[in-house]
Structure formats: C-alpha cells, structure tokens
Amino acid sequence: GKVRAPTHIISTISDDRGEEPCYAGVPMSTIVEKGMGIGDICVMLCADHGPCVSGAHNTIVTARAGKDLVSSLVSGLLTIGPRFGGAVDDAARYFKDAYDRKLSPYEFVESMKKKGIRVPGIGHRIKRGDNRDKRVELLQLFARTHFPSTKYMEYAVEVEAYTLSKANNLVMNVDGAIGTLFLDLLAGSGMFTKQEIDEIVAIGYLNGLFVLARSIGLIGHTFDQKRLKQPLYRHPWEDVLYTK
Ligand code: ACO
Ligand code: LMR
C-alpha cells in the first residue's frame, strides 16, 4: 500500500497545488462565476467609518508618528474588541442562545442586565433610534431579499425595539446585524447540523470579517496621512480635563 510520511501541518482551507487554487475545495473560477459570498457585502459596508472611530484614530496617530504601513495598520486593528467591531461573535452567541431558549426580548435583555453584561450587537456612540445605521438597514434588506429565513435577524430586530424603548442609543449596530445574519445563513443553508452550527458559533469566526474589512480603511487612512504630509499628532491641552 501507499506509505505516507507524517505531515507537520494540516490545512483544510486552501490548496494551491493544482492548475487553479481552490478555497475549501471549490475552484476559484467557480467562486467568481457564481458570485458566491455574502462576505462581500459585509466587507464593503465595514471597510471604513471615518477618521474618528477608535481604529482609524490609532492608525492616524501612528502614521503621523512616522511609522510604516504595517505598524500603523496593526495599531488600529488592536482596538478591535468587545466595544468596537469585535462584538460580532458574541452577538451571534448570545442572540442564538436567547432565541433557541425562546426567551422574549424582555427576558433576554433583562437577564443580561442582571448578569451585568451589555448586549453585544446593541448600542452605538452616535447612531440613534431616529438616526439609524444605514449599514444595518442595507444588511437587513439584503437578508430579507435573499435569505430563505431571517428568524435570528428578526429576533434581533424585536430585541432592538425593546432596548430602544429603554434608551435611544440602544440601536442594533453592524456587529449585531452581521452576527445574527450569519446565524440565519448557517441555519438556512441546510449544510450544517445543529451540532455543527453550535461548534461554529462557539469557535467564533465572525470578528474576522470586521477585521478583514476594516483593514482596508486603516490602510487607506495610513496612506492618506502620508500623502497629506501630516505632522506628528499631539492632542490639544484644551481637550483634556486636568485634575489632581
Ligand atoms: N446593552 C445594554 N445596555 C447598554 C448597552 C448594551 N449593549 N450599551 C449601552 N448600554 C446602556 C448601559 O446602561 C450604559 O450604562 P453602563 O455604563 O452603566 O453600562 C448606558 O447605556 C450608557 O452607555 P454608554 O457607555 O454611554 O454607551 P457608549 O455610547 O459609550 O457605548 C458601545 C457604545 C460601546 C457600542 C456600547 O453600546 C456597547 O458596549 N455595546 C455592546 C458592544 C457592541 O456591540 N460593540 C460594537 C459597536 S458597533 C462597532 O463598533 C462597529
Ligand atoms: C464603526 O464602524 O467604526 C463604528 O460603527 C464605530 C463608530 O464609532 O462609528
């Protein structure tokens, strides 16, 4: 029989040995021809959100300190976490758990409050009930038009209605929209068992989408500052409250 030397690396995501590279066994041309991938829309919508957000701010300060592209990029990426852009996986986890346990929005939100945990995917620094996040609306429209089921996303909309009744800043944010939308994609595709979906959600892949997308904006901000020959950034004294 065949003698196979033990390998040092196992990889399941891509293979470049053939004539055409494959992603998870699917040839690249098939992906292009069939226009596969909801990921595209998330990447486009999350690529940037202006110079004032945490990530872009760090990147701009770093670029203006004369650092190189990679340093400026990672400086911005390092802000992605539970408050900023990195709440997608937790949103998927908590919303899935609440929906599957048939918790009403009231029961879900109030149980989180009791535990002292902010609902991931809810809340925004500048978006409000009367000034919704356009990205969330676009994602919802896309899902309602193309997905076989949007049960998790619609549940998140009900949760948002409840949180908005508590405070006007507690809107669904992009992390919440992407998290619940991917739950619907996984559950509606018919490709995964319940157990596999639980495993996928437990491991957590979705923050990666935000990281990937926002890298585009952060690279843009780095080059923008360099092109504009911006000097070293120093925060103005007037904007600091000095107390003893
Ligand atoms: N769930 C429950 N209550 C909340 C939430 C939430 N997600 N967000 C805010 N509140 C309430 C709390 O009562 C909070 O008081 P507390 O500090 O005693 O907990 C009160 O609103 C005031 O909150 P602020 O701190 O003023 O809200 P801020 O505007 O600073 O926070 C933020 C915005 C960080 C996004 C917050 O809403 C949050 O933590 N959300 C959950 C994490 C999340 O989804 N992050 C992704 C944001 S989108 C993005 O970054 C691309
Ligand atoms: C973003 O996409 O960066 C945001 O939603 C966060 C923000 O503060 O606008």
> pLDDT tens-digit profile of 58-115?
999 999 999 999 999 999 999 999 999 999 999 999 999 999 999 999 999 999 999 9
Token reading at 146:
């193309």
> Best mutation site among 106, 110, 122, 210 for ligand 1, i.e. most ligand atoms within 8 A of its Cβ?
122
CA distance 45 to 121: 16
- Contact between 55 and 191 (Cβ < 8 Å): no
CA distance 201 to 196: 9
Q: What's the mean pLDDT when you consider all of the chain?
A: 93
> What is the predicted pLDDT for the residue at 37?
63
pLDDT in tens, 126-140: 999 999 999 999 999
pLDDT band, very low/low/confident/very high, at 38 (cuts 50, 70, 90) = low
pLDDT over threshold 90, residue 31 = no
User: What's the pTM?
Assistant: 0.91
Amino acid at 29: S
Distance from the alpha carbon of residue 139 to the mean position of ligand 1, in angstroms = 21
* Helices (runs of H) and strands (runs of E) counted in the chain: 11, 3
How far lies 75's CA from each of 15, 50, 72, 125, 151, in Å?
31, 16, 5, 21, 37
172, 174, 177, 181 alpha-carbon torsion, rounded to 10°:
180
pLDDT in tens, 181-239: 999 999 998 889 999 999 999 999 999 999 999 999 999 999 999 999 999 999 999 99
For residue 53 and ligand 2, the question of a CB distance below 6 A is answered with yes
Distance from the alpha carbon of residue 46 to the mean position of ligand 2, in angstroms = 9
| Number of the ligand closest to the Cα of 176 | 1
> What is the predicted pLDDT for the residue at 36?
64
For residue 174 and ligand 1, the question of a CB distance below 6 A is answered with yes
**Percent of residues, the chain, with pLDDT higher than 70:** 98
**Percent of residues, the chain, with pLDDT higher than 90:** 76
> What is the predicted pLDDT for the residue at 40?
81
- Contact between 64 and 231 (Cβ < 8 Å): yes
- Contact between 123 and 87 (Cβ < 8 Å): no
CA-nearest residue for atom 2, ligand 2, is: 49
> What is the predicted pLDDT for the residue at 41?
84
For residue 134 and ligand 2, the question of a CB distance below 6 A is answered with no
**Which of 149, 138, 200 has its CA nearest to residue 172?**
138
CA-nearest residue for atom 9, ligand 2, is: 53
